[in-house]
Amino acid sequence: MSLVDLGKKLLEAAGAGQDDEVHILMANGAPRDRTPLHMAASEGHASIVEVLLKHGADVNAKDMLKMTALHWCIEIIENRVESAEIEEREALQKQLDEANREAQKYQQQLLKKEQEAEAYRQKLEAMTCLQINKEAV
């Protein structure tokens, strides 16, 4: 197998997170100085990044976007933090929505109690008026 083929296979294995395949390809002489490290880092495959670094992958190598593997790691971390923040905001929004539903339920119960109290007050007032009228007669 040519070095180009080995490099392509190593790139694919690194990007897919296939630890064993990465070891085999590297043992067979696959080039490891640039793209495999970038791919493993950009896909978040820490164990493969570690293997590549132990076998001499160049941490300062830049890809066609002028980014090093460290740049890709930082990008992954930023994306994960952003995702976590979004999930946290969504969870907080769900709690807020539930609290609002509960508040509306209590508001309806309070309104009903106020209406019942007003009806009771009107009955008492009517009974008082009747009592006063009876005493006047």
The pLDDT tens digits of the residues spanning 40-84 come to: 887 788 899 899 999 998 888 887 667 788 888 888 889 889 999
Give percent of the chain above pLDDT 70. Answer: 91
Q: pLDDT tens across 6-16, in order?
A: 777 887 888 88
Distance separating alpha carbons of residues 47 and 60, to the nearest angstrom:
19
Residue 55 lies in a domain: yes
Q: What is the DSSP string of 44-84?
A: T-HHHHHHHHHTT--TT---TTS--HHHHHHHHHHHHHHHH
Residue 120 lies in a domain: no
Confidence of residue 1 (pLDDT cuts 50, 70, 90): low
Among candidate residues 12, 20, 22, the one with its CA nearest the CA of residue 43:
12
Per-residue pLDDT at 136 = 74
Residue 122 lies in a domain: no
Residue 68 lies in a domain: yes
Select the more confidently predicted residue: 50 or 136.
50
Select the more confidently predicted residue: 116 or 30.
116
Residue 128 lies in a domain: no
Per-residue pLDDT at 130 = 85
CB atoms within 10 A of CB 125: 10
Domain extent for 103: 3-109
Distance separating alpha carbons of residues 30 and 26, to the nearest angstrom:
5
Residue 69 lies in a domain: yes
CATH classification of the domain holding 54: 1.25.40.20
Q: How many domains, in total, are found in the chain?
A: 1
Residue 80 lies in a domain: yes
